[in-house]
Homo-oligomer: A and B are copies of this chain.
Amino acid sequence: MLFYTLDIIGTFAFAISGVLVAMQKRMDLFGIFIIAFVTAVGGGTLRDVLIGRTPVGWMNDLNYVYAITLGVVFSIIFRKKLNRLRTSLFLFDTIGLGVFTIIGVEVGISKELHPLICIALGTMSASFGGVIRDILCNEIPVIFRKEIYATACIFGGIAFFVLQYFNLKEDLIYIFTAAMVISIRLIVVKFRLKLPNIYQK
């Protein structure tokens, strides 16, 4: 139940981050809603389509649609004050990152896929909504260029299987995995870390 609540809060936060990008591109209301939507559920939708879990998740649980709609309405009303909420939004977004990773890994396990594929599905669930958002906004996806974002999910996914290997209880696995994703993300942002540069100056 707590987990589901965090999932919905993450969806709400992802939707707001979508609205912010859409507004930078000066999209109209329809465009803003769609960008919020794909940012929030695009990763999970891609995952569901690739493994054949259809109709995709949000079609069977309207709470996601409501959370996104709320996120859109909220951010349009408070659009001039969102800057002051930057820290809260970042925290919600990071919680979403952790929760979505776990959900993606679990969905992969339920389909009896190889752990490597499950980790890929966790990463996809958490971070590919942003990829689709950037494509629709005609940008090279930011997580392909400079942000350590998906990498946090990959390490979270690895942690998940390491802990499972040691037979930890599911609850503990969830908490440690989410903590792993969230703390990597926080450290990365705090210290402005980047992946090693392979290019010459």
The interface of chain A, by Cβ under 8 A from chain B, is 22-23, 25-32, 34-35, 45, 49-52, 54-56, 59, 62, 65, 76, 79, 111, 113-114, 116-117, 131, 135-141, 143-146, 150-151, 194-199
Chain B residues with CB under 8 A of A28 = 144-146, 194-195, 197
B52 near A51: Cβ-Cβ < 8 Å: no
Interchain residue pairs with CB less than 8 A apart (7): A23-B199, A27-B144, A27-B145, A30-B151, A34-B144, A35-B144, A135-B135
Q: When chains A and B are docked, how far (Å) is the Cα of A27 from the Cα of B55?
A: 34
Count identical subunits in the complex.
3
| Chain B, Cβ-Cβ closest to A194 | B28
Q: A26-B199, A144-B136 are in contact. Are A55 and B62 (CB under 8 A)?
A: no
- Which of B54, B65, B136, B137 meets A50, CB within 8 Å? B54
Chain B residues with CB under 8 A of A131 = 136
Chain B residues with CB under 8 A of A138 = 138-140
A145 near B54: Cβ-Cβ < 8 Å: no
Among A23, A52, A196, chain B packs the most CB atoms within 10 A around the CB of A52
- Which of B31, B140, B196 meets A136, CB within 8 Å? B140
Q: When chains A and B are docked, how far (Å) is the Cα of A117 from the Cα of B198?
A: 42
A143 near B30: Cβ-Cβ < 8 Å: yes
B59 near A55: Cβ-Cβ < 8 Å: no
A62 near B116: Cβ-Cβ < 8 Å: yes
Q: When chains A and B are docked, how far (Å) is the Cα of A77 from the Cα of B65?
A: 45
Q: When chains A and B are docked, how far (Å) is the Cα of A51 from the Cα of B48?
A: 10
Chain B residues with CB under 8 A of A197 = 28
Chain B residues with CB under 8 A of A135 = 135-136
Q: A28-B195, A29-B196, A135-B136 are in contact. Are A52 and B50 (CB under 8 A)?
A: no
B76 near A25: Cβ-Cβ < 8 Å: no
B29 near A114: Cβ-Cβ < 8 Å: no
| Chain B, Cβ-Cβ closest to A147 | B28
A59 near B151: Cβ-Cβ < 8 Å: no
